[in-house]
Amino acid sequence: MALIGVFDSGVGGLSIWREIVRLLPQHDVLYVADQAHVPYGHRPLEEVRRFAEGIARFLIGEGVQVVVLACNTASAAALHYLRAVLPQVPFVGMEPAVKPAVQNTQTGVVGVIATPATFQGELFASLLERFANNVTVLTRVCPGWVEAVEAGMLNTPETEALVRSCLEPLLEAGIDELVLGCTHYPFLRPVIERVVGPGVEVIDPAPAVARQTGRVLAARGAGPSRGPARRRFATTGDPERFRAMLSRLIGVDAQVEPLRWTPGGLLERVT
Ligand code: DGL
C-alpha cells in the first residue's frame, strides 16, 4: 500500500495535492501544512531547511513511501539536504518551470514569480544556467500574495491590486510566458489571467510534479491502497481554519489533525 506524503508551509501545496489525487487516485495521501510558520518565503534558507527536515521525519514516521515537497521555497532550501540525510525515502521537489517557458516564448522575455528564498537557492541559479540560453528571464517577488491566499482572499479588489502592481513591470518588459514559482499562486490564477490577458501563457508545474511522483512510485513498485484511498490532512496551525480552506480551495470536506512542534524541532501529533 502506498502512502504519499505532501507538505507545504500552508495551503499552497494543495495545488499540487489536487493534481496528485487526480493522477494517482488509488494511493493514500497525507498532507502536512506548517501554518505555524507560514510564510516560509522571507525566512533564512537554514530555518526553512530545519522545518522541512522536521516535517519529512514526521512523514517518514507515518510510513510514507515518497515525500513531495509541494513548496518551491522548501525545495530551494532543503531538497538536496533531505536527500542526503534521509536516504530511506525518495523526495520529489519543485523548481520554477523555466524550461518550458524558455522553449515557448516568442518575445524572448519570460517572467518568473516566486518567493525571495526560492530565488536565493542554488536550484534557481542552476536552472538559469541550464535553460535560460538567449532568453531574458525576469524574476519578481510578489509581496502579500501568499498571505492573501492563506486568508482566502482569492478574488477581491485588494488582491487584484496586489497582483497588478507585481505583474505590471513584467508586462511592460514584454513577457509572453509567466512561470508560477510558488504553489500558492495557482489559487490566484483567475486574477492573474485577468491581469496578464490572453497574450501571456501562465505556467503551473503541478501536473509535472504529479507525473514525477507517479514515476517514483512506479519505480519503487508501490501498489495501490487496499480499499478506498485515504486522504489525511494535518496542520501545525488552526485545524478548523484549515478545514474551511480545504473546502474553499479544493472542495474537500475532511477532518484536520492538529500537529505541534516540540522545542527540539520535532513534529508531533496533538492527542
Ligand atoms: N507555497 C510555497 C512555495 O511554493 C511557500 C510560500 C511561503 O510560505 O512563503 O514557495
Structural domain boundaries of the chain? 3-94+207-269, 98-204
**Per residue in 1-30, pLDDT tens?**
689 999 999 999 999 999 999 999 999 999
Pocket test for ligand 1, best of 184, 235, 245 (most atoms within 8 A of CB): 184
Residue 25's pLDDT is: 95
Q: Give the 3-state secondary structure of residue 130.
A: helix
| Calpha distance 135→245 (Å, rounded) | 38
pLDDT for res 222:
81
pLDDT for position 228: 84
Q: Hey, is 129 helix, strand or coil?
A: helix
- Could you name the CATH architecture of 98-204? 3-Layer(aba) Sandwich (3.40)
pTM of full prediction above 0.85: yes
| Residue 24 DSSP symbol | -
pLDDT at 221: 86
Beta bridge partners of 202: 178
Question: Would you say the CB of residue 33 lies under 6 angstroms from ligand 1?
Answer: no
pLDDT digits (tens, 9 = 90+) for 198-216: 999 999 999 999 999 999 9
pLDDT at 87: 98
φ and ψ of 132, to 5 deg: -70, -30
SS (H, E, C) 213-265: HHHHHHHCCCCCCCCCCCEEEEECCCHHHHHHHHHHHHCCCCCEEEEEECCCC
How far is 102 from 153, CA to CA, in rounded Å?
31
Going by CA atoms, what residue is nearest to atom 9 of ligand 1?
41
Residue 80 class from Cβ within 10 Å (0-12 exposed, 13-18 middle, 19+ buried)?
A: middle
Question: Is the Cβ–Cβ distance between 77 and 56 less than 8 Å?
Answer: no
Q: Please indicate whether residue 8, judged by its CB atom, sits closer than 6 Å to ligand 1.
A: yes
Q: Give all strands (DSSP E) within the chain, no chain letters.
A: 3-8, 28-33, 66-69, 91-92, 109-114, 136-141, 177-180, 201-203, 231-235, 256-261, 267-269
Q: pLDDT under 70 in the chain at which residues?
A: 1
**Domains 3-94+207-269 and 98-204 belong to one CATH topology:** yes
| Residue positions annotated with a catalytic role | 71, 182
pLDDT of residue 1: 62
Query: So what's the pLDDT on residue 122?
Result: 87
In CATH, the number for domain 3-94+207-269 is 3.40.50.1860
Q: Which three cell numbers stand for residue 201?
A: 501563457
- Of all atoms in ligand 1, which is nearest to the CA of residue 37? 8
Q: How far is the CA of 13 from the centre of ligand 1 (A)?
A: 8
Q: CB-based burial of residue 131 (10 Å sphere; 0-12 exposed, 13-18 middle, 19+ buried)?
A: middle
Query: CA 242 to CA 248: how far, in whole Å?
Result: 10
Phi and psi of 100, rounded to 5°? Answer: -65, -35
pLDDT at 225: 73
